Amino acid sequence: MTSRERLVAATRREPVDYVPLHGSFNPLSEVQRRGHQWQFPWPGDASADEQIAYQVEKLGLDQIISTSLNVCAPVEADSRVWLDGDILHKTYLTDDGELHAAVRYSDLWPHGMDLPFFSDFNVGHYVEPWLQTDADLQAFMSLRRTADDETIQHRAASAAGDALARAARYDLATMVHVGTGMTGAQHLFGVRELCMMTIEQPELVEAYVEFEHQQNLRALEALGNRGIDLVRRNGFYETADFYGPAMLERFLGGRLRAERDAAHAGGMLMTYTIHTGVMPILDYLVSLGLDGLCGIDIAFPGVDFPHMVETLLPVSSLWTGPSSTQHIWKGPEPTRQAVREVFETVGRTGLVLTQCVSSHSIMPWESTAAMIDEWRQLR
C-alpha cells in the first residue's frame, strides 16, 4: 500500500498492510520555547517541504499534506492598535459598529503589537474579549462576510491543487482543516465567559456557531470532489471539560453531522480533534458518526482506555498514541509502554498511531524516537 492508501484505509477501519504512524510536531512560539533547547532533528528554519522530506525519508512516517480554505471576503475597515500601560487594545470600525478587545501585554504575549481573533493565547490574557454582545457579533460578522462563489471556487481549486501537487512526491494523504466551533468561540468570547453564556445568553452562542457552521459548509462544498482525502474539524475544547452532553448536542451535534455529510458528499473522510474530557460524552461521540477521532489523551485522569475503545472503535477510527504530557515529556520508556498499550488495546484495524496531540520542539527527542522504534516493531 502507498502511504496515502494506508492512512485512508485505517481511517475507514479497513485492513492495512501495517498500522500507519502519523507524526504530529509542534514547533511552539518563540515565547513558549524561551529557556529551552530546540529538540527536533531538523532546523527551526526548515521549510514545510524540507520537514516533510525528513519525516518521510529519514523517519518513515505516514505524513499528511494539509491545507485550508478562507471563505471570507476581503473587507476594508479602519483599525487601531494601542498600548495603555500594560493593556494592549485593538479596535475595528465596521459598517455595523465598533469592535474592541484588550489583553494584558507582557513578555508572555507572542503576537507583538497585534491582537488576533483566533489564538489560544487570547484566553489567558483577556481584559476584554472580542465578543460580549449581539452588537459585537454583528460587527465581527461584517468583518468576516462570506466571499462570492467565484472567489471561493478559485481559492478552493488553488488550495487543493497545491496540496495534491506537494503530496504527489511521496504519494501522501491530503487533509483540509475546516472549522473550529466552540474552540474558536473560546478565543473570541473567553473561556469562563463562553461557559456562562451557554447558560445565560445561549442565543448569542447559537448565533456565532451557526455563522461559522454555514461558512464551514460553504468551504466543504467548494473543496468537495477535488481529490482531498480528509477533513479535520477542530473540537479540542468541545468536550465535557466545559459542557455536558446535552449542551454539546444543542450547540454542535446537528451541525457536526451536517458537516460530516458535506465532507462525505465531496468524497472526503471526516476526522475530529478532541483531547480530554471524553469519558462522559462517549455516547454523544458515537452519535456523531465521524470517520476518525484524533488526539484523545489515553493517560488523562479518569480515562478508561479499554472501555473507550470498545465504545468508539465500532464507529470511528482512533488516531491515538503516547500523551504529550504524560508520556513524551517523561522519556523514552513511558513512551514505549504507551505504544505497546495502544496496540494491545486497539489492535491493528482502525488505528492511526500518533502523538496525543503532538511532540513539542522542547520535549526530549529520544521519546519521539522511541515511539517510532516501538511502532516499527509492533506495526
User: Which residue, of 89, 107, 131, is where some domain finishes?
Assistant: 131
- Return the axis-axis angle of helices 202-223 and 134-143, rounded to nearest 10°: 20
pLDDT single digits (tens) 127-170: 999 999 999 999 999 999 999 999 999 999 999 999 999 999 99
Read off the pTM: 0.97
Do 257 and 346 lie in one domain? The reply is: yes
Do 22 and 88 lie in one domain? The reply is: no
Do 61 and 83 lie in one domain? The reply is: no
Do the beta carbons of residue 274 and residue 294 sit within 8 Å? Answer: yes
Residue 3's pLDDT is 99
Smallest CA-to-CA distance from 355 within 330, 316, 320, 379 is with 320
Smallest CA-to-CA distance from 173 within 378, 354, 295 is with 354
Do 112 and 188 lie in one domain? The reply is: no
pLDDT single digits (tens) 284-320: 999 999 999 999 999 999 999 999 999 999 999 999 9
> Does residue 224 fall inside a structural domain?
yes
> Does residue 61 fall inside a structural domain?
yes
Do 105 and 162 lie in one domain? The reply is: no
Q: Identify the CATH number of the domain in which residue 370 sits.
A: 3.20.20.210
Do 98 and 51 lie in one domain? The reply is: no
Residue 301's pLDDT is 95
pLDDT single digits (tens) 43-65: 999 999 999 999 999 999 999 99
Do 165 and 213 lie in one domain? The reply is: yes
> Does residue 141 fall inside a structural domain?
no
> Does residue 23 fall inside a structural domain?
yes
Share of the chain above pLDDT 90, in %: 100
Residue 17's pLDDT is 99
Q: Give residue 154's domain range.
A: 3-70+146-378
> Does residue 233 fall inside a structural domain?
yes
User: Which residue, of 104, 131, 158, is where some domain finishes?
Assistant: 131
Do 185 and 125 lie in one domain? The reply is: no
> Does residue 251 fall inside a structural domain?
yes
Q: What is the mean pLDDT of the chain?
A: 98
Number of domains in the chain: 2
Do 115 and 160 lie in one domain? The reply is: no
Residue 346 to residue 116: CA distance in whole angstroms: 40
> Does residue 139 fall inside a structural domain?
no
Do the beta carbons of residue 223 and residue 157 sit within 8 Å? Answer: no
Do 215 and 329 lie in one domain? The reply is: yes
> Does residue 232 fall inside a structural domain?
yes
